A and B are shown apart, each in its own frame.
Chain A
Amino acid sequence: MTIQRRRVAGLLLLPASLVVVAFLALPLVLLLRYSLNRFVPGQFMVEALTLENYAKFWTDPFYFAVLRTTLMMSGGVTLLCLALAFPVALFLARTTTRHKSLLLMAVVLPLFVGNAVRAAGWMVAFGHKGIVNWLLEAVLGGAPIDIMYTPTAVVIGILSVNMPYAVLTLQSVLEGIDRAAEEAAISLGATPFAAWRLVTLPLATPGVLAAGVLCFILAMNAYATPILLGGPRFQMMAPLVANQILQQANWPFGAAVSFVLIAVTLVLTAAANLSLGRRAA
């Protein structure tokens, strides 16, 4: 590439970079500044330069428990999502049916509906007299159960949001893996499971990593699903941020919680990339 071409490429990058700086970086800087302010009840935000909001987060067991719940939910949902999405993605990558595009469409279709609307659908299904309890009572003859406003409802809700992303990410990587490698292992006496474990899975690691990271980040920042399906007693980080800012008007603490969420997500994502990425290399 000549120097001039490089310069043109740099210039072409400029507008997009400016947009990113203006609409992402600057608000973040502002939010960071707010997180150092002080909240006085009834007076909104008082100008200060203090770390007390961060100290409050790390020293109060309640907020730490919210972070722990968020991490456990995100980690659990990510593993479950990968376990469920992998076979679907493998099937989609390997199938030779002429309806493949229809099948892919079926995976993408849920993304046409917003998260909140999807959660509202689950609310109808999980309600006291919803479809699930109706099935339990009328069809299976059991007693109704409480699903709404439980962590189970949130797991199902987030899983349904994240699955299409995981399937599509995995499927695109699996498509690129030469099937001959797996066939060679089988021809040398490996069982199909051993061939999958020793050949396909290691080759698909970049895809698993990408799908996992995507899933984890989406779950860490889930807002509508925990609010609508988890109910008032189930606390996760994104709803906590919204509550501090919109309900309690405590912008400094809300901003500090945002930064804790961003930092924890970034650190864990980078750590996963480093450890798994190195192993895959």
Chain B
Amino acid sequence: MSINLSRRNFTLGLGAGVALGALGGMAPARAAASGQVVVGTWGGDYLNLLQKYVADPLMTPKSVEVVFDTASDTVRKTKLMAERQLPRGSMDIACLSASGSFEMFKNGALLELDPAKIPNLKYVQEKLRTKWSVPHIYSGRVILYNPSKVKTAPTSYADLWNPAYAGKVGVIDIQYQTTIESAALINGGGMSNYEPGKEKLLELKKMGVKVYPTNEAMADALKTEEVWMCIMWKARGIMWQNAGIPIEIANPKEGVALYISDMSIAKNARNKEAAYAWMNAILDPSPQREFAKAMGYNPTVENADVPAELQGRIAFSKDIQDKYLVADQEYLAKTDASLQDWWTKVFKA
């Protein structure tokens, strides 16, 4: 309840500030942000980096107190859906994947953004933008392989089906969607038709594919050479290389599919001005650069000025960039539940 009270005070204060500004003949183009902003996010490194490079240096000086609400994105989506009829929700900002924010916007839980309130948006690459979200970081899907075991660098997802590597290929449980998609790409399917991937994956199952519960379990399996090859985001591959895991990164010729982690403002956000200030801050060159350094993700803005050596490792060539594969969110929203069902009941069974 103390939050409500301070919010009320804040609103009063904000009103007074605007009035004073106007009196002084300096009416701002938009209301200055202050007060508290609640950011629903993942925990771990991601949270620590948001605190260190966005909240502390960019929001605190503006007198905006950032409160993090950590949970998985499914929990966050559930919260947004449960609260969407309320006039004031408990979250101002929701960190989601691109498919998550699409789904939430379709359900009327997210605000349609006003680009004028996010000046840094002009630096964001066009293909990453949507009207309901600001892309925070992105990476592309690649093949990771152990060069001492896999002598010829893979060039296609089809190389995971090479009988020479039977039983030495791993997939990750929580990445069911992208795994089915990758299999579909080499079996006549595409970004809007994952069905052919199912049959292909059953072949891989017969070949003794190993299923790991999490990315971390996969990292461990690669480290101990229990498996030699997997499908993964390039950013993770770079993090794992930095951690001394013996892997190389190969781009599949089918195209590099994008993973975009984005942020949106809840339609019933309590402090929309501070939320816009937060959205602008995450696109600032400094945190964008620091996320690239720490996590190996690509900045979504063009002015991040990432050191050349790191840029060489994380960036994709111009050819690949031109052929980036972008998920068909409309298709995924309709089929995700059935894909997950198939994965659990047929593929993993």
Residue positions of A touching B, CB distance < 8 A? 41-44, 62, 127-129, 149, 227-228, 231-233, 235, 246-251
Known: A127-B224, A248-B74. A42 touches B211 (CB 8 A): no
Q: Which residues of A contact B211 (CB under 8 A)?
A: 149, 231-233
**Across the interface, do A44 and B334 meet the contact criterion of CB distance under 8 Å?**
no
Residue positions of B touching A, CB distance < 8 A? 72, 74-75, 77-78, 81-82, 103, 106-107, 173-174, 211-213, 217, 220-221, 224-226, 333-334, 336-337, 340, 344-345, 348-349
**Across the interface, do B107 and A247 meet the contact criterion of CB distance under 8 Å?**
no
Given contacts A42-B333, A44-B77, list 7 more A-B pairs with CB under 8 A. A41-B337, A227-B213, A231-B213, A246-B75, A249-B77, A249-B78, A249-B81
Q: Which residues of A contact B348 (CB under 8 A)?
A: 232-233
**Across the interface, do B221 and A43 meet the contact criterion of CB distance under 8 Å?**
no
Q: Which residues of B contact A129 (CB under 8 A)?
A: 224
The distance from the CB of A58 to the nearest CB of chain B, in whole angstroms, is 15
A127, B345: Cα distance in complex, Å: 26
**Across the interface, do B72 and A246 meet the contact criterion of CB distance under 8 Å?**
yes
The distance from the CB of B224 to the nearest CB of chain A, in whole angstroms, is 4
With contacts defined as CB atoms under 8 Å apart, how many contacts are there between chain A and chain B in the complex? 58
Q: Which residues of B contact A233 (CB under 8 A)?
A: 211, 348-349
**Across the interface, do A43 and B74 meet the contact criterion of CB distance under 8 Å?**
no
Q: Which residues of B contact A41 (CB under 8 A)?
A: 333-334, 336-337
The distance from the CB of B16 to the nearest CB of chain A, in whole angstroms, is 40
**Across the interface, do A231 and B336 meet the contact criterion of CB distance under 8 Å?**
no
Closest to A232 in B: B173
A233, B36: Cα distance in complex, Å: 43
Q: Which residues of A contact B333 (CB under 8 A)?
A: 41-42
**Across the interface, do A62 and B107 meet the contact criterion of CB distance under 8 Å?**
no
A249, B174: Cα distance in complex, Å: 14
Known: A42-B107, A128-B226, A129-B224. A232 touches B212 (CB 8 A): yes
Q: Which residues of A contact B213 (CB under 8 A)?
A: 227-228, 231-232
**Across the interface, do A44 and B212 meet the contact criterion of CB distance under 8 Å?**
no
A218, B240: Cα distance in complex, Å: 37
Q: Which of B74, B106, B220, B344 contacts A42 (CB 8 A)?
A: B106
Closest to B210 in A: A149
Closest to B172 in A: A232
Q: Which residues of B contact A44 (CB under 8 A)?
A: 77-78, 81-82, 107
**Across the interface, do A127 and B220 meet the contact criterion of CB distance under 8 Å?**
yes
The distance from the CB of B261 to the nearest CB of chain A, in whole angstroms, is 18
**Across the interface, do B337 and A248 meet the contact criterion of CB distance under 8 Å?**
yes
